[in-house]
Amino acid sequence: MGFSPQYARLRRGAKADFDRPAQVDAEFQRESASLLKGAASSPPE
């Protein structure tokens, strides 16, 4: 079964959209981890 150019373009777009948030998500998780660590080490207000 062959892939249509439309499907290939869709896959490329999906991969580009998938790769970007993965990087953003990694940064978000790092920030969340440091925020949680800071919240855990400091007494609640």
Distance CA 15, CA 39 (A): 36
Q: What is the DSSP string of 1-45?
A: -PPPHHHHHHHHHHHHHHHHHHHHHHHHHHHHHHHHHHHHHSPP-
The mean pLDDT of the chain is 73
pLDDT of amino acid 19: 63
pLDDT of amino acid 17: 62
**Higher pLDDT residue, 23 or 28?**
28
pLDDT of amino acid 40: 72
Does residue 3 have a pLDDT over 70? no
pLDDT of amino acid 33: 86
What are the sequence ranges of the domains in the chain? 5-40
Give the pLDDT confidence of 4-24 residue by residue, as tens digits: 777 777 777 666 666 666 777
